[in-house]
Amino acid sequence: MEYFFIVNPQAGAHNVQKLWPDIETELDKQHIAYRTLITEHDGHAVTLARRALNLINAVSNPNAVIVATGGDGTLHETMVGCMRYYADHPQQPKIPIAFLPVGSGNDFARALKIPLHWESALTQILSCHSATIITIGRFINHDNQTDGYFTNNFGIGLDAAVVHHANHSLLKDSATLGKFSYMAAVFNTLIHFKGFRLTVSVPDQQPTTYQKAYLVTTTNLPYFGGGIKIAPDASVLDDTLDLIVVEKPNIFQLILFIVMLFLKRHLHLRFVHHYTEKKLFLKTEDSRYGQTDGEELGNKTFDLEFGTAKYPFWIK
């Protein structure tokens, strides 16, 4: 087996840059056949995933695995690169993706029970013998004719605004202050974020319009935001996506929501709405921040169609 490591040295406030020499030492110690592709800027893992697949298919090597090495954002870009490649080369056999979670967030690792310590995660990757087919989310934004994929979730509104403010904080790249920056963005956004008009449509039902949607996440996993269990029953092993819509709460409802969220009973609240569907349609009337797997989409209007796709992952 040959492993193609797509390494994001900036992930986890440069944590990967510090850990990668130790990971290489362990790979060499075990005489593992591997190649390293280092990302140099945002979005580069998309290009590197395609490059790795070109290298693999140039020698017709079916015994290969692409290892996303970083956080959820690195995994997201790697997966998107692979999906784009196979859209152009549909006859090629799909090479599986593995995830070495050494960045921040790591919600995908939590959901798939991938160890969060790199030594254990690497051992799991190297001892795996077959791929597992999982569901990934797919979206089309009909407002600007763009499309994409997500392993974790697609957020509009509150969580996307948090991602935007945290990413543009001067503290975000600090290993010691990065988490403080994220929490400051969370609390600031919780207090000041305004609700927005959202229409949700699902097959065989009349559309529902929420006048003051607050938190809107279409998720493939139970977790979002670095370990918060927003959709407890969501799974990458079924063919559905879960949509959570939280209407703008007053201060007492907000406190109740936070408490119930940590008790995993928030879905029973009357201002929280839960859908589980194979297809979903969401439409905003004005511009809102969006995010996929923690990666910013910018401030825009959305006319979204959600569905699913399949991809092999190298997990036990």
Relative to beta strand 97-101, strand 64-70 is parallel
Check residue 180 and give its pLDDT. Answer: 59
pLDDT (mean) for 32-36: 97
Q: What is the mean pLDDT of residues 258-282?
A: 96
CATH of domain 137-310: 2.60.200.40
Q: Say how far apart CA 300 and CA 236 lie, in whole Å.
A: 28
pLDDT at 104: 80
Closest CA to 6 of 135, 96, 99: 99
Residue with tokens 């797997």: 293
Residue 57 DSSP label: H
Classify strands 228-229 and 132-141 as parallel, antiparallel or unpaired. unpaired
- E strands, 53-101, in order: 64-70, 97-101
Q: Which residues pair with 262 in a beta bridge?
A: none
Q: Is the pLDDT of residue 169 over 60?
A: no
- Alpha-carbon distance of 81 to 195, in angstroms, equals 34
Length of the chain: 316
Give the phi and the psi of residue 14 in degrees, each rounded to 5: 70, 15
- Please compute Rg for the chain using Cα positions: 20
For the chain, the domains span 2-129, 137-310
Strand partners, 306: 139, 280
Average pLDDT over residues 111-120: 95
What is the domain class of 2-129 according to CATH? alpha beta
Using one digit for the tens of pLDDT, what is the confidence trace for 68-93? 999 999 999 999 999 999 999 999 99
Is 0.85 surpassed by the pTM of this model? yes
Q: Which helix (H) or strand (E) holds 278?
A: none
**In this prediction, what percent of the chain has a pLDDT beyond 70?**
93
- As a whole-number percent, the residues of the chain with pLDDT over 90 amount to 77
